[in-house]
Amino acid sequence: MVPDQSEASGAGRPVLNYELATLLSEAGFSREALARQVALQARQEYGLRLAYDYRSVGRWLRGSVPEPPIPEIIAQVLARAVGRMVTVNELGFQRGGQVSPGVEFPQTPEQVIESVTDLWRVSNERPNAFGQASFHPVQALEAAVDWRFGRPGTPSSKTGSRQVVAADVERVRSTHIEFKNLDHTHGGGFALGWLVRYLREDVALLLRGRYGHAVGRDLFQSAAVLTNLVGWMAYDFGRHTLAQHHFTHAAALAQQAGDPLYGAAVIGNLATQALYLGHHRTALRLSLAARDGAGRWAPQGLLARLAGTELRALALLNDRSEFVRTRRFADRAMERRNEAEEPGWMGMFTPAHFAGSTIHALRDLGRAKEARELLDDALDLPARHSRARSLHQVLAASVLASCGELDEACELARPALAAARAIKSIRLAERLNEFARQVEGDADSKLVSAFLTEVNDT
């Protein structure tokens, strides 16, 4: 999508960083020129390959703070342009209330390779570089727009020391299955570091190898699936900045692979993350963008999954009329689902997952008795899905507690509490604590009191 002049100049978007805006004007730089010079110096002096453009500078002007060493590079570039020393403190990045770091959406195969391999390198070498709980709603929405209206590329390469063949891609796919199973069984924190290292040491070499379009397309798609899995593991383990970076890059990889269905699933995961962190309207918009980008002929199971997140957002926004319409759409999609026609990665979405989303939404609307009718469906999960089973047990327990069935609720939550000692999932721990807060006012019950004691001892 070619931006019009108002978009390129940032018209209509408030400038919060007046110090940087003043320096930009003094240097006589356009936003595009500053982005180009910063990317050039970052490559020459630090070996960083950055996909910065005028939108990156626009984000800095609106309050985004780039990661080190980018502020130092910006200061050096501007100092040369204005003919005097410029320090990092003069860039306006030190004021409170700003967000950090920026999350860029690369838009060509070359940009994707440079950006995602650098992301894996930093994630592997400096695992704490991305902080913990930061999530940037505006940048998530911008990524969804870039994904929705961007054009797929032709991922191929005639350079590189290694010839990449179909068997290499198949090994990446097999590795995804192994890591996915570890995530389901042991939680996101168990194998997160291993997966990042594998991407850094193995998949990055493949992306930089030699391959034609057919192999390149499959390679990008397989890399998208693994990158998305990093995002999901990081999200489950409370590493939300790291998760957002990987979800964004997974969507970019899927776009360049010409796979809008997987891209829609990734944007749907961004919506789930936004919902979890309390950005309900952002979650709704992301879900709608994902459903729109998937297309009207998308598999019914994918549409149901995306509508499930939308349903939860509508419940939290208390939009009851739209909730009714969306639930009708989601239920119809699940009824029409034909798993034989779906891509293999959709197998992780089961009727139990769909029931869980509906139960969440009904509970949040205060319709616990209606949600109670779906509990058996939500608990019908394969044994290997240890984390999902535990999450659903606690969700079901919260519904029972809302219906006044406190003893039954604590009995149902106890296996999840035991499992949480072995599963490295911040989401599970937080859901258990939320349930404990829900029932702590009824500690006169022996079962409730015993459960609260177990929670405190965990």
Say which residues have a Cβ less than 8 Å from residue 331's Cβ, sequence separation at least 6: none
The pLDDT confidence band at residue 113, using thresholds 50, 70 and 90, is very high
Lowest-confidence region among 151-155, 171-175, 217-221: 151-155
Say which residues have a Cβ less than 8 Å from residue 383's Cβ, sequence separation at least 6: 389
The answer, yes or no, to whether residue 115 has pLDDT greater than 80, is: yes
The answer, yes or no, to whether residue 108 has pLDDT greater than 70, is: yes
Beta carbons of 150 and 107 less than 8 angstroms apart: yes
pLDDT of residue 100: 41
Please, what is the Cα angle at 21 between 279 and 108, to 5 degrees? 60
The pLDDT confidence band at residue 401, using thresholds 50, 70 and 90, is very high
Lowest-confidence region among 128-137, 359-368, 440-449: 128-137
pLDDT of residue 454: 87
The pLDDT confidence band at residue 58, using thresholds 50, 70 and 90, is confident
**Residue 447 to residue 245: CA distance in whole angstroms:** 43
Q: What is the DSSP letter of 441?
A: G
What long-range pairs does 414-418 form, CB within 8 A, spacing at least 24? 414/451, 414/454, 415/390, 416/389, 416/390, 416/391, 417/451, 417/454, 417/455, 417/458
Residues for the chain: how many in total?
Answer: 458
**Residue 209 to residue 172: CA distance in whole angstroms:** 14
Query: Of 204, 202, 249, which Cα lies nearest the Cα of 227?
Result: 249
The answer, yes or no, to whether residue 265 has pLDDT greater than 60, is: yes
Residue 333 three-state SS = helix
Average pLDDT value for residue range 9-28: 71
pLDDT of residue 89: 81
Name the CA dihedral angle for 303, 356, 340, 301, rounded to a multiple of 10 degrees.
0
Average pLDDT value for residue range 227-239: 96
The count of other CB atoms within 10 Å of the CB of residue 244 is: 27
How far are the Cα atoms of 75, 350, 384, 408, 417 from residue 389, in angstroms, in the given order?
A: 51, 12, 9, 17, 12
Q: What's the whole-number average pLDDT of the chain? A: 89
The answer, yes or no, to whether residue 52 has pLDDT greater than 70, is: yes
**Residue 65 to residue 72: CA distance in whole angstroms:** 12
Span 282-322, pLDDT tens digits: 999 999 999 999 988 899 999 999 999 999 999 999 999 99
pLDDT of residue 124: 86
φ, ψ for residue 17 (rounded to 5)? -100, 85
pLDDT of residue 64: 75
- pLDDT more than 90, % of the chain: 66
Residue 361 or 136, more confident:
361
Average pLDDT value for residue range 11-21: 67
The answer, yes or no, to whether residue 86 has pLDDT greater than 90, is: no
Residue 1 or 157, more confident:
157
Please, what is the Cα angle at 205 between 199 and 207, to 5 degrees? 90
Query: Of 306, 301, 346, which Cα lies nearest the Cα of 326?
Result: 306
Residue 123 or 220, more confident:
220
Beta carbons of 239 and 130 less than 8 angstroms apart: yes
pLDDT of residue 97: 42
Average pLDDT value for residue range 421-440: 93
The answer, yes or no, to whether residue 231 has pLDDT greater than 70, is: yes
pLDDT of residue 101: 45
pLDDT of residue 46: 75
The pLDDT confidence band at residue 4, using thresholds 50, 70 and 90, is very low
pLDDT of residue 99: 40
**Residue 322 to residue 307: CA distance in whole angstroms:** 12
**Residue 55 to residue 1: CA distance in whole angstroms:** 13
Span 175-214, pLDDT tens digits: 999 999 999 999 999 999 999 999 999 999 999 999 999 9
Span 339-353, pLDDT tens digits: 999 999 998 899 999
The pLDDT confidence band at residue 8, using thresholds 50, 70 and 90, is very low
Helices (H) and strands (E) in the chain, counts: 23, 0
The pLDDT confidence band at residue 69, using thresholds 50, 70 and 90, is confident
pLDDT of residue 212: 96
- Type of residue at 122: V
Average pLDDT value for residue range 382-392: 92
**Residue 107 to residue 424: CA distance in whole angstroms:** 34
- Render 58-90 in DSSP notation, one character per residue: HHHHTTB-PPTTHHHHHHHHHHHHHTS---GGG
